[in-house]
Amino acid sequence: MRLQSAILAFVAGVVIAGAGTARAQSVEEFYRGRNVTMLIGFSSGSGYDIYARVLARHMGRYIPGNPTIVPQNMPGAGSLRAAQYLYNVAPKDGSVMATMSRSAPVEPLLGEAKFDGRAFTWIGNIADNNSLCATWHATEIKTWQDVLTKPFVLGGEGPGSDLDNFAMILKNLFGAKVKLVSGYPGGSEANLAIERREVDGRCGWSWDSIKSTRPEWLRDKKITLLVNFAFHNAPDLPADVPLILDKVQTDEQKQILRVHLASQALGRPFAAPPGIPADRKAALRVAFYATMKDAEFIAEAAKLRLDVIPLDGAGIDRVVGDVYALPPEIIEKARRAVKAQ
């Protein structure tokens, strides 16, 4: 009995000592020699994918311990699959981060997602967003009047994605004769569907993504830019592309649109799971913003035609918090605006 007690006491001492060591582990010690997974909630070749891979190539230099950041695509449901995984399953130790749709943080208010967008550990956003609806050049849909009067088919990714939400807003708020064909894994597949004439076009298409992934479509006038879901047009966007806010007829439409447009400020967001250690949260935020100023990162982004207009993690906290604080009646109207009918 004495020997057994001694052994138990020894094991308990080792466990306690080990726990103390783990608690005392510095950020640099945690990340040194480690691979950090970067989940990408969209398919390969999409705008989100390109941004994430560029960030992954540079950000590790600014994280203490210089870990290797390994991108991993997890497409599905307009990135909600990756968001749900990050929220519920991923280790809460700072070893996993993700990029998701800019609309994903507020999707629980508008759809069926089961998480609180305020709870993510927001790391930063590379650029705000101009989100366009566009159609293939061979369709009859070339103007806003055409949108309102002629039937057409738009491609989508799934409920909660920008592609689906903005298509439904055209239908529910403005009476457009839109048929939504949803379920494409990501923007790349939706673009291929446009080219194959499976659909006439898509919404939720970031201006920076169009420039970086389909510059030849712009050059050769293969697509028509119909309307911009944003508060302001990007400086290099063609001047004849109207803002959706300029098309509203009532104050109620404007209030509803402001709920959905708030997420455009989160254009290319990155997050870690809720509740990671505070020192690692701080280190990831600092590393992200340092990367935004890194000459090599900026040069690669420019080469790929990617905008770099960053917002820090605290800024994302404010944007998301402001949306969650809106009156319930406004949120309910915004919810109905993107619901399939």
Give me the pLDDT at residue 13, please: 47
Pick from 67, 50, 100, 61: nearest CA to 290:
61
**189, two tokens:** 């597949």
Q: Tokens 């806010």 label which residue?
A: 245
In the chain, where does the domain assigned CATH 3.40.190.150 lie?
10-128+266-337
Between strands 96-99 and 35-40, the pairing is parallel
**224, two tokens:** 């028509």
Tens of pLDDT, residue by residue, the chain (341 residues): 443 444 334 434 433 444 444 457 999 999 999 999 999 999 999 899 999 999 999 999 999 999 999 999 999 988 999 999 999 999 999 999 999 999 899 999 998 899 999 999 999 999 988 999 999 999 999 999 999 999 999 999 988 888 999 999 999 999 999 999 999 988 899 999 999 999 999 999 999 899 999 999 999 999 999 999 998 899 999 999 999 999 999 998 998 998 999 888 898 999 999 999 999 999 999 999 999 999 999 999 999 989 999 999 999 999 999 999 999 999 999 999 999 87
Between strands 178-181 and 96-99, the pairing is unpaired
Amino acid at 182: S
What CATH architecture applies to the domain 131-263?
Answer: 3-Layer(aba) Sandwich (3.40)
Q: Hey, what CATH topology would domain 10-128+266-337 get?
A: D-Maltodextrin-Binding Protein; domain 2 (3.40.190)
Q: How far apart are CA 227 and CA 242, in angstroms?
A: 5
Other CB atoms within 10 A of residue 81 CB: 17
Q: Phi then psi for 249, rounded to 5 degrees? A: -110, -20
In the chain, where does the domain assigned CATH 3.40.190.10 lie?
131-263
